[in-house]
Chains A and B, each alone.
Chain A
């Protein structure tokens, strides 16, 4: 197309060279590029999912979920690992929610902006990227040795507390982001009515930030639930032929059990590992759904 022609059917000043066709082409190219990126991401995920389902569905039945591990593949089950993971998540959620949200509230709402809080902010950001094995070693020192009187050694409590350390930075960062997204006008409105900072935060800022906090919390829990290295270092056992009887019980967890089966030479155990992955994903899905339901509840209330 001749660019000096009036484009788009309208009279055009000669100072504007309207290459409409070129702009639309660029638009189409860009749309295709983003579409391709999405397709590749989904494709890889689907492939992963399908191969896990093909390998694992055959051995996934009620008996698998309700049985203890065994040296014989056809009798082995995942019950203690599933129970261990659920109890671990209870510990992690119980500690990381108040600690993480509390720290974020302090840093974002109470602390004045000075070099100290800025250093803390950078440190927390970096901590979120530290490999989980390092947290495992920290947990080994702190919870298994230093506080062994309380945690009773390699128990669900010490594993859960170590996982709490692991995800605390993520919870703090996510909570701070959602607190920051609450407009200042909301805070000012509260202060102008004679509220003090705590009343403003508790009644208005935190409820407004809650959907974001829940999202961050669930992302963090998803990281914790799949983490293997931390638990290996803090002494989750590979073979637990009994149900944990509390938070001070020895335990195993889903990723540990999956890792254990996957590293055996026999192919039957590989199928069990795939079944275990399906169970793990189901737990994740239930957790995410709960979070979405909770989040919608918060959004409706506000």
Chain B
């Protein structure tokens, strides 16, 4: 279904596209009017203060907002030119193509092997499972650390290893895009560095969207950066919006908006 449009995508080189996207939780508008193109095989960073809707927009891309009661997405989001809210697109299939890594490492309380095999199995993987497990763990730079204890629980690993296990689990089902929501915020600096290095390798084969609170991380790893901010409403709430989206160098060295400048230089509330 989605694969029909791969040719169209190669022409545009845009993996995901958000057009005029607004998200509501119940009747509350959380983020409004977002226009955003995610280019293929690039790393796009979302930065901005807490509560401005970075996670919300990220969850739009694999329709994880569907699982939140009362959440509603308006506007158009396309994956390889196909509207992901179209009836012909099944969210289950979409999530195989657009994987996600969460803020806190959340391996299944099962063996390391099973953590990786699960996604492949439910998605009808026919090849050799042992090979897939090994390749995925290698792809996540974790193989050498765990190859002798694949039967042990994923929860027995350190936080940084758990997060790389989650990345291995995500790439095992061969997605095209990996969404990462503050993947390093629960990790120590060394584990963070490992994950960042890993992202540079993954970029060869995957498109990555990463939400991060860490300005250095955004400037180190990303090609494009989107700066989100929130404006206060009269009723005391706030509405997130996309302030500026550009090449990372421009955002950090020569932003067009004053608020971006203030945020990236740390002169911001």
For the side of the interface on B, what is the size category?
20 to 34
B92 proximity list for chain A (CB < 8 A) = 194-196
Q: Are A194 and B153 interface neighbours, CB within 8 A?
A: no
Which of the segments B38-46, B117-125, B134-142, B235-243 contacts the partner chain? B117-125
Q: Are A194 and B95 interface neighbours, CB within 8 A?
A: yes
**With known contacts A204-B108, A302-B109, A302-B153, A192–B100 Cβ distance under 8 A:** yes
Q: Please measure, in the bound complex, the distance between the C-alpha atom of A112 and the C-alpha atom of B71, giving whole angstroms.
A: 14
A17 proximity list for chain B (CB < 8 A) = none
Interface size on A, residues (CB 8 A): 20
Q: Is residue A189 contacting chain B, with contact meaning CB distance below 8 A?
A: yes
Q: Please measure, in the bound complex, the distance between the C-alpha atom of A196 and the C-alpha atom of B109, giving whole angstroms.
A: 18
User: Which residue of the partner chain, among B69, B96, B102, contacts A189 with CB atoms under 8 Å?
Assistant: B102
Q: Which residue of B lies closest to A189 (CB)?
A: B106
Taking the closest CB of chain B, its distance from the CB of A133, in whole angstroms, is 41
Q: Which residue of B lies closest to A195 (CB)?
A: B122
Q: Is residue A185 contacting chain B, with contact meaning CB distance below 8 A?
A: yes
Q: Is residue A203 contacting chain B, with contact meaning CB distance below 8 A?
A: yes
Which B85-102 residues have a C-beta within 8 angstroms of A?
A: 92-93, 95-96, 99-100, 102
Q: Are A193 and B122 interface neighbours, CB within 8 A?
A: yes
Which of the segments B10-18, B165-173, B188-196, B209-217 contacts the partner chain? B165-173
Q: Please measure, in the bound complex, the distance between the C-alpha atom of A113 and the C-alpha atom of B123, giving whole angstroms.
A: 29
Q: Is residue B256 contacting chain A, with contact meaning CB distance below 8 A?
A: no
B119 proximity list for chain A (CB < 8 A) = 193-195
Q: Are B109 and A186 interface neighbours, CB within 8 A?
A: yes
A112 proximity list for chain B (CB < 8 A) = 69
Q: Is residue B110 contacting chain A, with contact meaning CB distance below 8 A?
A: yes
Q: Is residue B64 contacting chain A, with contact meaning CB distance below 8 A?
A: yes
Q: Is residue B76 contacting chain A, with contact meaning CB distance below 8 A?
A: no
Which B162-181 residues have a C-beta within 8 angstroms of A?
A: 166, 169-170, 173
Q: Is residue A285 contacting chain B, with contact meaning CB distance below 8 A?
A: no
Q: Are A185 and B102 interface neighbours, CB within 8 A?
A: yes
Q: Which residue of A lies closest to B123 (CB)?
A: A194
Q: Are A185 and B106 interface neighbours, CB within 8 A?
A: yes
Q: Please measure, in the bound complex, the distance between the C-alpha atom of A196 and the C-alpha atom of B93, giving whole angstroms.
A: 10
B173 proximity list for chain A (CB < 8 A) = 193-194
Which A191-240 residues have a C-beta within 8 angstroms of B?
A: 191-196, 199, 203-204, 207-208
B169 proximity list for chain A (CB < 8 A) = 189, 193
A-B contact count (CB 8 A): 68
The prevalent SS among residues of A at the interface is helix
Which A158-192 residues have a C-beta within 8 angstroms of B?
A: 183, 185-186, 188-192
Q: Please measure, in the bound complex, the distance between the C-alpha atom of A255 and the C-alpha atom of B73, giving whole angstroms.
A: 60
Q: Are A193 and B96 interface neighbours, CB within 8 A?
A: yes
Q: Which residue of A lies closest to B153 (CB)?
A: A302
Q: Is residue B222 contacting chain A, with contact meaning CB distance below 8 A?
A: no
B102 proximity list for chain A (CB < 8 A) = 185, 188-189, 192
Interface centre among B96, B122, B153 (most CB of A within 10 A): B122
Q: Are B95 and A193 interface neighbours, CB within 8 A?
A: yes
Q: Is residue B62 contacting chain A, with contact meaning CB distance below 8 A?
A: yes
Taking the closest CB of chain B, its distance from the CB of A196, in whole angstroms, is 6
User: Which residue of the partner chain, among B64, B93, B118, contacts A191 with CB atoms under 8 Å?
Assistant: B64
Q: Is residue B67 contacting chain A, with contact meaning CB distance below 8 A?
A: yes
Q: Are A191 and B95 interface neighbours, CB within 8 A?
A: yes
Q: Please measure, in the bound complex, the distance between the C-alpha atom of A195 and the C-alpha atom of B119, giving whole angstroms.
A: 7
Q: Please measure, in the bound complex, the distance between the C-alpha atom of A10 and the C-alpha atom of B229, giving whole angstroms.
A: 49
Q: Is residue B72 contacting chain A, with contact meaning CB distance below 8 A?
A: no
A208 proximity list for chain B (CB < 8 A) = 109
Q: Which residue of A lies closest to B173 (CB)?
A: A193
Taking the closest CB of chain B, its distance from the CB of A129, in whole angstroms, is 30
A203 proximity list for chain B (CB < 8 A) = 108, 118, 122
Q: Which residue of A lies closest to B101 (CB)?
A: A192
B106 proximity list for chain A (CB < 8 A) = 183, 185-186, 188-189
Q: Which residue of A lies closest to B94 (CB)?
A: A194
Q: Is residue B203 contacting chain A, with contact meaning CB distance below 8 A?
A: no
Q: Are B104 and A185 interface neighbours, CB within 8 A?
A: yes
User: Which residue of the partner chain, among A192, A195, A196, A199, contacts B62 with CB atoms under 8 Å?
Assistant: A192
B93 proximity list for chain A (CB < 8 A) = 194
User: Which residue of the partner chain, among A189, A190, A199, A204, contacts B166 with CB atoms under 8 Å?
Assistant: A189
Instruction: List 22 contacting pairs A-B, 8 Å CB cutoff, sorted by A.
Output: A183-B106, A185-B106, A186-B108, A188-B64, A188-B67, A189-B102, A191-B95, A192-B102, A193-B95, A193-B99, A193-B122, A193-B173, A194-B95, A194-B119, A195-B119, A195-B122, A203-B108, A203-B118, A204-B109, A204-B110, A207-B110, A302-B153
Q: A183-B106, A192-B100 are in contact. List 15 more A-B contacts (CB 8 A).
A: A112-B69, A186-B108, A188-B64, A189-B102, A191-B67, A191-B95, A193-B96, A193-B122, A194-B96, A194-B119, A194-B123, A195-B92, A195-B122, A199-B122, A302-B109
- Interchain residue pairs A-B with the least CB separation, the first 4: A193-B119, A185-B106, A194-B96, A192-B100
